Structure 1
């Protein structure tokens, strides 16, 4: 049994893969494992660092990196300090977004919501214990990471995550809580299981979820779930603002109807 690293924030960073599967191609898995080592890196990586992070020897890392570099998926950084992901990776991000029917039908709704809200609007999709941002429409104040498609956040402490859990049974909510790496991302991050459950019950009651400074200090976010036809939660729409401009009650009165209407418009497709 091996593991593939995943780009997760506050989520246990491995997923199991079964190498005994007769259709499983180990060479492909090794290449993806090498690409995955960049998820949590803040700098270019040397061959030794790539090999150590990927769990492969230097010789194997060298061969994989060479192949991926020839194909454009890894390149040397501008200052020649090591390796970074290559530009060809963006082709696959584009393919995912343009071929995902949920992203396609959500796009006009998100743009209308951004015009009405005049705050940041995001669409996130669920990947087990995390949400991945698939669309981000910016407001007047942003950090670099708040603009990135593909940025991920944990389910347990986010407005979108709690909006999603509100559409699950208690046993599934408990499973998410138990498997999550419940650490404090900010001093306001709620990590206690009972408090998380209380927030999920609150989201069920209100039809939306609210989070205050749990991912980013000074930020308030409200979210409603995006559902499949059978009611399975697939993701969430978020509106995020600054606590320097909004208090929680005013923010909810202003944006709860908007985010609920937007989610409902997508869910009716």
Structure 2
């Protein structure tokens, strides 16, 4: 289950309903990333079929939707252009790339950069860079994947930089579900992991977001000491014990995160 969104409140007089509905159509593909008919789009986006047709044709004319041979609509390749625009416009991603490249060579395991997302109410992190290792699942290689803050080593490392009252508020507003059978769902257990990360300077998670995975992350701070992202190192439990993984990679992750902090 996805985390609820609570974006900044704006003056209702400045809100364009037509733009919002167009975004609803685009976001309908998040739950079902497959070609859809106009009826399916209307149902998924919560709009009527006439509005779905107008919006769908507009997005089709601009390249943000593409049409299949059967007439269904799917996400267009133009979204890759906009992803590229975002990635190259983000200063942290630009600064992090050489640091992560060196870290990937030294670690010989998957290295990720995640962004903490206070605009999206701090309930999730989103992976901006993913440098894969010798074996990966498909989704673990894709930038743009969003995961709940409470269940990820990077999210918990970011929470560790926040005051206790903010941590408690974020956890209270999170939709706590299992991403794997091993995901911790008890709030006190999650909070204890955050406090341990605060003491250690990094967070380690075992099979919290992906079965068979052990992952360690250290948070990146802004000039005020607030979390803006995290450096992750992830490996396989078939190759690493928890103590060995911690001993090997905690210093690397913390060093990389420190190099990227304060910028």
Query: Structure 1 length normalisation: TM-score?
Result: 0.92
Which runs of structure 2 are paired with 1:246-261 in the superposition (5 Å)? 246-261=240-255
| 1:107 to 1:83, Cα distance in 2 relative to 1, 3 A | same
How many corresponding residue pairs?
259
Distance 1:144 1:80, change over 3 A: farther
1:16-53 superposed Cα distances (whole Å, 9 cap, x missing partner): 67685222222111111110101111422221111111
Residue 219 of structure 2 is aligned to residue 225 of structure 1: yes
2:205 maps to 1:205: no
* Structure 1: gaps (5+ residues): 1-9
Q: Secondary structure at the match of 1:238?
A: strand
Is the 1:159–1:221 Cα contact (8 Å) retained in structure 2? yes
Matched-pair contact (CA < 8 Å) for 1:119–1:138: yes
| Partners of 1:33 and 1:198 in 2: CA distance | 37
Alignment correspondent of 1:47: 38
Q: Is the 8 A contact 1:11 1:130 kept in 2?
A: no
Question: 1:97 and 1:205, CA in 2 relative to 1: closer, same or farther beyond 3 A?
Answer: same
Kindly provide the CA deviation profile for residues 182-214 of structure 1, in whole angstroms up to 9, marking residues without a partner as x. Answer: 011111101111001100011011100011001
Partner of 1:6: none
Report how far residue 11 of structure 1 moved.
Answer: 3.4
In structure 2, C-alpha distance between the alignment counterparts of 1:89 and 1:52, rounded to whole Å = 22
Any stretches of 5+ residues in structure 2 without a counterpart?
none
TM-score scaled by length of structure 2: 0.94
Paired position in structure 2 for 1:61: 52
Q: Distance in 2 between matches of 1:133 and 1:154?
A: 11
Greater per-residue helix proportion? 2
Instruction: Supply the distance in 1 between the matched residues of 2:26 and 2:249 (Cα, whole angstroms).
Output: 39
Q: CA RMSD in A?
A: 1.5
